[in-house]
C-alpha cells in the first residue's frame, strides 16, 4: 500500500507565507521537454556566451528525477524584492541593477528554504527534498511557469499578474504529491516595449535573449573586455541592467513594495565612479562581502566603470 503523505498544499502555503514567499505554486515533476528543446536551440546558437556551465547537466535540467529519484513535485516560490527607491540621476554615478542593491539573495533564500524544508520534515518525517535558487542544474523559470507563478515575458523574465517581475525564483524538488497549480497564460499580447527599449538589442527575438549582447552578462559574468560596439549604449549601468523590466507595463502597474527587511535600506544602489576607481582589493572585499557584486570581482567592476567613462 502506498503511504499517504501527511503534508498538503496548505502546510506549504502557510510556512512559505511566514518566510515571505508571497508567490507559490506546485507542479508535477514531469520532464521539461519543450523547454529543453528551446534550451538546446539557445545553446546551439551560442547564446550562453562564456557561461559554459549552461552546457552541462542537460539531462538533469530536463528530468529532475535524475537529481532526486523520488521526485513527485516541484514547489516553486517567488520572493518579491521591489522597493520604491530610485536612482539619483547623477551622471557621475554608476547604477547597480535592483536585484543587487542589498544582501546576496542566494544567502537569504537558501536559509529560508532550509527552514522551510526543516518545518515540512517536522510534519512528515518521510519528506525528501532538494532546494535550488539560481545555481545548480535546474531551470528555475521554466518550473515557476509550470507551477503557475507567472508567464515568461518576451524578455524571458517571469511576470506574475499581481506582482510584476521583481521577484526571485526558488524551487524545491520533493517526493510529495500536491494539488497542482493552473499554468498562467501569456499576457504580453502585442506589446514589444522590452524589445524596443533594450539598449543593445539583446532580445534577439521574442522570448530569446542572446547573453553575448546583454548588459547583465557583459557587466557580471563576462571575464573579457566589453566589445567596442557597445560604447555609449550602457547608460550608466555598472552591474546588471534593468531596462527591460523598467519599461514593462506589468511592473509599472503591479509592483508591490516588499515587506522583507532584507531588501530594505539597501546600500548598494549606485556608486560614484571615483569611489570604485579608488577602491583597493581589501576595500572591495569588505564592502561587498555578502553582496552579489562580489561576483564581478574588483577587476570586473573597474572594467565596467572604465567602459562607461570611455577610458579603456
Ligand atoms: C543564465 C542566466 C542569465 C543569463 C542569460 C539570460 C537568459 N534569458 O537565459 C544572463 C546573465 C544574461 C542573465 C541576466 C539576468 N537574469 Co538571470 N539567470 C540565468 C539562469 C542561471 C539560467 C537561465 C536559463 O536557463 N537560460 C536558458 C534559456 C534557454 O532560457 P530562457 O531564456 O528562460 O528561455 C526560455 C523561454 O524564453 C522559452 N522560449 C525560448 N524560445 C521561445 C520561443 C517562443 C515562441 C516561446 C513562446 C518561448 C520560448 O523557452 C526557454 C526555456 O524555458 C537563471 C537561474 C536558473 N537556474 O534558471 C537566472 C534567472 C533567469 N535570472 C534572473 C534575473 C533576476 C536576471 C536579471 C534580471 C538580472 C539583472 N537585473 O541584471 C537579468 C535579466 C536579463 C534577461 N532579460 O534575461 C532571475 C529571474 C527571476 C524572474 N522573475 O524571472 C533567475 C530565474 C534567477 C532566480 N533564481 O531568481 N541571467
Ligand atoms: S537586461 Fe538590459 S541588456 Fe539585457 S535584455 Fe534586458 S534590457 Fe537588454
Ligand atoms: S514589456 Fe511588454 S512584451 Fe516585454 S515582457 Fe513586458 S508585457 Fe511582455
Q: Determine the structural domain holding residue 274 and report its residue range.
A: 193-309
Domain boundary among 174, 201, 225: 174
CA 259 → CA 19, 79, 84, 91, 263, distances in Å? 11, 10, 11, 31, 8
Q: Which atom of ligand 3 is nearest to the CA of 251?
A: 6
Pocket test for ligand 2, best of 97, 209, 212, 237 (most atoms within 8 A of CB): 209
Residue 15 above 80 pLDDT? yes
Same domain? 168 vs 269: no
* Predicted confidence (pLDDT) per residue in 267-312, tens digit: 899 999 999 999 999 999 999 999 999 999 999 999 999 999 998 6
Same domain? 52 vs 126: yes
Domain boundary among 124, 140, 174: 174
Give mean pLDDT, residues 87-113.
95
- Calpha distance 149→22 (Å, rounded): 10
In a domain, 93, yes or no: no
* Predicted confidence (pLDDT) per residue in 160-185, tens digit: 999 999 999 999 999 999 999 999 99
Instruction: Out of 22-26, 205-209, 267-271, pick the least confident.
Output: 267-271
Q: Which atom of ligand 3 is nearest to the CA of 193?
A: 1
- Calpha distance 11→172 (Å, rounded): 14
Same domain? 117 vs 263: no
C-alpha cell at 284: 572591495
Give mean pLDDT, residues 65-78.
98
Same domain? 198 vs 169: no
Same domain? 244 vs 296: yes
pLDDT of residue 262: 83
Q: Which atom of ligand 2 is nearest to the CA of 237?
A: 2
Q: Are 182 and 86 in contact (CB under 8 A)?
A: no
pLDDT of residue 261: 84
Mean of the per-residue pLDDT values for the chain?
96
The verdict on whether 134 is a catalytic residue reads yes
Domain count of the fold of the chain: 2
In a domain, 4, yes or no: no
In a domain, 34, yes or no: yes
- DSSP code per residue over 164-203: BT-EEEEEEEES---PPPPPPPP--TT--HHHHH-TT--E
In a domain, 184, yes or no: no
Q: How far is the CA of 40 from the centre of ligand 1 (A)?
A: 14
Q: Are 64 and 129 in contact (CB under 8 A)?
A: no
Residue 35 above 80 pLDDT? yes
Q: Where are the beta strands (DSSP E) in the chain?
A: 23-28, 73-80, 93-96, 129-132, 151-152, 158-159, 167-174, 203-205, 208-209, 237-239, 270-272
Same domain? 208 vs 279: yes
Amino acid at each position: 500500500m502506498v503511504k499517504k503523505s501527511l503534508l498538503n498544499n496548505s502546510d506549504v502555503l502557510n510556512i512559505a507565507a511566514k518566510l515571505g514567499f508571497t508567490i507559490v505554486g506546485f507542479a508535477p515533476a514531469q520532464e521539461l521537454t519543450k523547454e529543453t528543446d528551446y534550451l538546446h536551440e539557445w545553446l546551439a546558437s551560442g547564446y550562453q556566451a562564456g557561461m559554459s556551465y549552461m552546457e552541462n547537466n542537460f539531462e538533469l535540467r530536463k528530468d529532475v528525477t535524475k537529481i532526486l529519484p523520488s521526485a513527485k513535485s516541484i514547489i516553486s516560490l517567488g520572493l518579491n524584492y521591489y522597493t520604491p527607491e530610485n536612482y539619483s540621476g547623477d551622471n557621475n554615478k554608476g547604477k547597480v541593477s535592483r536585484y543587487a542593491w542589498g544582501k546576496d539573495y542566494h544567502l537569504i533564500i537558501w536559509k529560508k528554504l532550509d527552514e522551510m524544508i526543516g518545518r515540512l520534515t517536522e510534519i512528515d518525517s518521510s519528506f525528501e527534498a532538494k532546494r535550488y535558487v539560481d545555481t545548480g542544474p535546474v531551470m528555475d523559470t521554466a518550473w515557476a511557469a509550470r507551477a503557475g507563478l507567472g508567464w515568461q515575458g518576451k524578455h524571458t523574465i517571469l511576470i506574475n499578474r499581481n506582482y510584476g517581475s521583481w521577484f526571485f525564483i526558488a524551487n524545491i524538488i520533493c517526493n510529495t504529491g500536491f494539488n497542482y497549480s493552473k499554468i498562467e497564460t501569456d499576457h504580453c499580447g502585442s506589446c514589444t516595449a522590452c524589445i524596443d527599449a533594450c539598449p543593445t538589442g539583446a532580445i534577439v527575438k521574442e522570448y530569446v535573449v542572446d547573453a553575448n549582447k546583454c548588459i547583465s552578462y557583459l557587466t557580471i559574468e563576462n571575464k573579457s573586455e566589453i566589445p567596442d560596439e557597445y560604447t555609449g549604449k550602457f547608460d550608466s549601468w555598472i552591474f546588471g541592467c534593468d531596462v527591460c523590466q523598467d519599461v514593462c507595463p506589468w511592473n509599472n502597474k503591479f509592483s508591490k513594495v516588499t515587506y522583507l527587511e532584507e531588501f530594505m535600506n539597501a546600500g548598494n544602489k549606485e556608486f560614484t565612479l571615483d569611489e570604485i576607481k579608488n577602491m583597493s582589493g581589501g576595500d572591495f572585499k569588505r564592502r561587498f562581502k555578502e553582496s552579489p557584486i562580489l561576483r564581478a570581482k574588483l577587476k570586473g567592476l573597474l572594467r565596467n566603470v572604465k567602459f562607461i567613462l570611455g577610458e579603456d
